[in-house]
Amino acid sequence: MQRMQAFKFELMPNGEQRRDMRRFSGACRFVYNKALALQKTNYEAGGKFIGYVALAKSLTDWRNGTETPWLKDAPCHPLQHALKDLERAYKNFFAKRADFPRFKRKGSGESFRYPDGKQFVVDQANNRIKLPKLGWVRYRNSRDVLGQAKNITISQSGGKWYASIQTEREVPQSVPTATTAIGIDVGIARFATMSDGSFIAPLNSFKKHQQRLARYQRRMSRKVKFSNNWKKEKTKVQKVHACIANARKDFLHKTTTTISQNHALVCIEDLQVGNMSRSSKGNSEQHGKQVSQKSGLNRAILDQGWGEFRRQLEYKMAWSGGMLLAVPAHHTSQTCPCCGHVAKENRLKQAAFLCVDCGYAENADVVGAINVLGRGQRLLACGEDGSGRGRKTTTKPASVKQEPTEATMHEVSHA
């Protein structure tokens, strides 16, 4: 099967290359914003949507015009890809997958992309990459680049420049070495609780650096905006944010790798993280309730990285030959796994579960994980969610409705 994979490395450019990379990313940002402004003006005038081909012709005029001759100094292909990014943003908006495209600002998401593998050369033996109009750029070679290079994205984060190389290669279809199935209930007090009773403690990387980040942000707010002192404090804030993101990403990669290697079937909750972390401030007519408590809860939810956890787990399970199923999450911790009784009274405390019907007692997160596993097995066997609510999930049901084999069935000891 075809596997698309990205390999990210830190670049070590010299001073001139740093300046050129800032100029190239600025040129891509300028082209994106100019094309977006042209689209808006054309729409207000009653015109139709301008496609990529027409915008590419306008790009040629901008490069050869007298107003923006400095666009010629930037490579052509990244500028063209900026127009493709805008077209993709519009398509996502029309398909209701994203909000309306917004103008890019300097200092946020600085990047540019060479979309063809023939436009750059990766010399792994000498730890360098050759890029158009930049020459050879050294990089920290931490691992081998596997497969045929398709494109490369140069981006800046936390004051450092990175190269992300996307590759494509043919790999044999993986067969899972594990034979167990498990359900996972994610939370805040416990990052992930398994249906076998084990759990993974949360990292809380933002919480650990929250006070230091707030201190740097206060210092930054006292400086004159865009002054040299303000830029120094901004660099400190960016470094803390980068540290938080890197620690969370490392934690999630290690966790998902361990889970995907040890289980053939993983069932998780189909959580709508965006809705769960939505602000409760309300509006001028109807004010929200318990705004500060909800704000703290939202911050804790986003600190866990549930969305990234699911994304990584999905492709890693596919790589290992396993399967990931997402099931409805409602009432998983209020349903008794023994008798099936559903009631709020079953969970009067946050961590304790006690069935009022049969007296079954267990940790509430473990109960939730057991129910998640049961729903996943019913979904795999019969194509139904097993929740009794008939809610459609975002995960496609099994193509062949049959009882799971012994390799995917796992008797839960707590059931």
Catalytic residue positions? 185, 269, 365
Closest C-alpha to 115, from 156, 83, 93: 83
Helix (H) and strand (E) counts in the chain? 9, 14
Distance CA 333, CA 350 (A): 10
406 to 1, 180, 181, 346, 409: CA distances (angstroms) = 25, 9, 10, 32, 5
Phi, psi of 53 (to 5 degrees): -60, -45
Distance CA 217, CA 407 (A): 52
Q: Which residues contact 184 (CB under 8 A, 6 or more apart)?
A: 192, 193, 194, 195, 259, 266, 267, 268, 269, 369, 372
Phi, psi of 391 (to 5 degrees): -80, 135
Q: Are 154 and 131 in contact (CB under 8 A)?
A: yes
Distance CA 310, CA 342 (A): 27
Coil vs helix vs strand at 309: helix
